[in-house]
Structure 1
Amino acid sequence: MTERSERADGGGTETALGRGRDEAGRSVDPAVAATAREELRTTFSYQVERLREIDTKAIEILKANLVLIGIVVTGGSIVVQTEFELGGFLNLFTLAGGALLLVSTGLAAVTYTASDLRGGLSIADVDAVVAAERRVAEPSDDGAEPPVGFDERLLRSYAEWIDYNARVIAVNDLLATVTVLLVFVSFVYVVAGVAVGAAGLTAVESLLSFAVLTAFAGGFTWMSAHMDHLGPETTHPDAAFEGVQITKGSDRAKAGASLVEMLGRDPDARRRREREAAASEDRRDE
């Protein structure tokens, strides 16, 4: 090996080391990035499976409710043509049960159509990655700080995807839970209505019974809907990661806030997220 080649190799090594030091300040350790990326990918996959499970339950409830409504309508049309007296069985209980069954059917349809996960790289993202890698490969003399490494950008993107998907799951799980509870409560009202009609209670007694049953049904629904989680519990001082709620997505308070935002009734939050997205795009282009 000649002296020139040794100097060239030495200079190349020094340049590579210098570039590695420069990039080290703007990138994540490859081993740490690989471990974190694998964990994030696993969490993302769990979220996809959970949302698919919620959608399956919603569509099954929707089908069952539609079949039940069809049976009730058909049976009612047949009974009307007979001499059987239905006046005593068409009371507040049965009417409320039928209304709740219709509401649960609508919520099941909304739950199925509200699923919208976020993830993956778009064409613009790939273009931004290629442009950033080119800026890293081409040395700059203006002293500008090198762009953030691809590993860090991917990890942060995964974190944002998971956070967004958790809010979607929280909304869908809330809707699915309310749907199931409404189906149960509707059957309770129908059974109570049949019992009241058979017992021949007076109007005052029926109203009092309806109020009592409604109070119990409301309390039961609220308690069941808010049995969402036990809260994070740290048993080791080094357990710094609280994790993501895979099944519920988030607690009911955040689920309600996300539902309000999804309905477009929180313009301040929407504008704030749009500003954050615009700032993220600006940082990505720098």
Structure 2
Amino acid sequence: MSGREVTDDSARGDGSTAASERSDFDRETFELAHEELRSTFDSQVTRVQEIDEKAIEILKANLLLIGLVVTGGSIVVQTDLDIGPFINLFSITSALLLLASTGLAGVTYTASNLRGGIDGDAVEVALATARGDPTADADRFEVRLLRSYGRWIEYNARVTAVNDMFATITVLMVIAAFVYVVAGIAVGALDPSTIVSAVTFLALTAVLLWLGAFAYYMDHLGASDERWEGTFDGVRISKGVTRKRGLSTLRSMRSEGATDEAEEERDGDAAPARNARS
């Protein structure tokens, strides 16, 4: 065996070893990325489920409370008790907040619409990848799956932000309703003048609005987060995107829904053509 042949064999051996190491490293990187993406996706699903459970519990409690109030009121009006002083601005506001929080809890429960999973087109891509040479296809199934996870996570973060806003406002409304009903009972028992009652109502409303705004933005850092060089920004699991982007998402939900419907119609029209070609 000549020296040139030995050199060529060594070069080929080193090249195959390097290619093998690179392939192992790529596979390891892919598996790590897939595991982290899957974990993030599962955490988002769990978080939205928690919000839905809280919303349905609030909805049940409010409906039970409204039923008790209606039943108790129908009984009281048949007696000689004077409940006029207790029907004041505070109690009326409390009832309105309770009704609004009940409706918002229902909206929160029904607004969840996460995105994820593979569809028929993804199955076709997976089958095509299995039949061909996966290493020669830059857009093979595994690569598209990772990209899809990234898109799903970004979309679900926006859904989480909207649901969290609804849930937070619902809880704040329920708390404010109980505060107003306690104040209404106190005002009905003390029977102050109209001016004193109005001033007290305005002062209490101002305090509740300030506390509500403080609680609404609590534990939700925005764009001023401290960043570290060489790290990923990550995804807000509990709150989703920022409140500002959440409001923007809420405003654009209807237009995006119309766009999705149009895309589904186009996909439905294109499906027979794809089937005919296959």
TM-score interval, normalised by the smaller of the two chains? 0.7 to 0.9
Q: How many angstroms does 1:133 deviate by? A: 5.3
* 1:250 counterpart residue number: 241
Long gaps (5+) in structure 2: 1-11, 267-273
* 1:6 counterpart residue number: none
Q: In structure 1, what is the Cα distance between the partners aligned to 2:30 and 2:258?
A: 31
Alignment of 1:1-286 (within 5 A): 29-131=26-128, 134=131, 136=133, 146-231=137-222, 232-235=225-228, 237-238=229-230, 240-262=231-253, 264=254, 267=255
Change (3 A) 1:273 1:166: farther
Q: In structure 2, what is the Cα distance between the partners aligned to 1:117 and 1:268?
A: 14
Q: In structure 1, what is the Cα distance between the partners aligned to 2:244 and 2:258?
A: 18
Q: In structure 1, what is the Cα distance between the partners aligned to 2:176 and 2:78?
A: 29
Long gaps (5+) in structure 1: 1-12, 140-145, 279-284
Work out whether residues 228 and 252 of structure 1, in 8 Å CA contact, stay in contact via their aligned partners in 2: no
Give the AA of the match of 1:253: K
Work out whether residues 185 and 217 of structure 1, in 8 Å CA contact, stay in contact via their aligned partners in 2: yes
Instruction: Give deviations 1:134-156, integer Å, cap 9, x for gaps.
Output: 5657x9xxxxxx54132221111
Partner of 1:218: helix, strand, or coil? helix
**What is the TM-score of this pair, normalised by structure 1?**
0.77
Work out whether residues 58 and 111 of structure 1, in 8 Å CA contact, stay in contact via their aligned partners in 2: yes
Q: In structure 1, what is the Cα distance between the partners aligned to 2:140 and 2:256?
A: 32
Q: How many angstroms does 1:128 deviate by? A: 2.9
Instruction: Give deviations 1:39-92, integer Å, cap 9, x for gaps.
Output: 000001111111111111111111111111111111111111111111111011
Give the AA of the match of 1:98: A
Change (3 A) 1:80 1:58: same
Work out whether residues 107 and 175 of structure 1, in 8 Å CA contact, stay in contact via their aligned partners in 2: yes
Change (3 A) 1:233 1:269: farther
Work out whether residues 108 and 175 of structure 1, in 8 Å CA contact, stay in contact via their aligned partners in 2: yes
Q: Paired residues, what number?
A: 246
Instruction: Give deviations 1:151-207, integer Å, cap 9, x for gaps.
Output: 221111000011111111111111001100100000111111111111111222222
* 1:282 counterpart residue number: none
Deviates further, 95-104 or 150-159 = 150-159
Q: In structure 2, what is the Cα distance between the partners aligned to 1:195 and 1:177?
A: 27
Give the AA of the match of 1:233: E
Q: How many angstroms does 1:131 deviate by? A: 3.3
Change (3 A) 1:53 1:268: closer
Q: In structure 1, what is the Cα distance between the partners aligned to 2:125 and 2:236?
A: 31
Work out whether residues 116 and 168 of structure 1, in 8 Å CA contact, stay in contact via their aligned partners in 2: yes
Work out whether residues 118 and 164 of structure 1, in 8 Å CA contact, stay in contact via their aligned partners in 2: yes
* 2:4 counterpart residue number: none
* 2:3 counterpart residue number: none
Q: In structure 2, what is the Cα distance between the partners aligned to 1:204 and 1:274?
A: 57
Q: In structure 1, what is the Cα distance between the partners aligned to 2:203 and 2:219?
A: 26
Q: In structure 2, what is the Cα distance between the partners aligned to 1:268 and 1:42?
A: 27
Work out whether residues 122 and 141 of structure 2, in 8 Å CA contact, stay in contact via their aligned partners in 1: no
Give the AA of the match of 2:98: L
Which has the larger share of helix? 2
* 2:7 counterpart residue number: none
Q: In structure 1, what is the Cα distance between the partners aligned to 2:65 and 2:256?
A: 42
Q: In structure 1, what is the Cα distance between the partners aligned to 2:259 and 2:45?
A: 27
Work out whether residues 86 and 188 of structure 2, in 8 Å CA contact, stay in contact via their aligned partners in 1: yes
Q: Quote the sequence identity (%).
A: 49
Partner of 1:84: helix, strand, or coil? coil
Give the AA of the match of 2:198: L
**What is the TM-score of this pair, normalised by structure 2?**
0.79
CA RMSD of aligned residues (A): 3.0
Partner of 1:65: helix, strand, or coil? helix
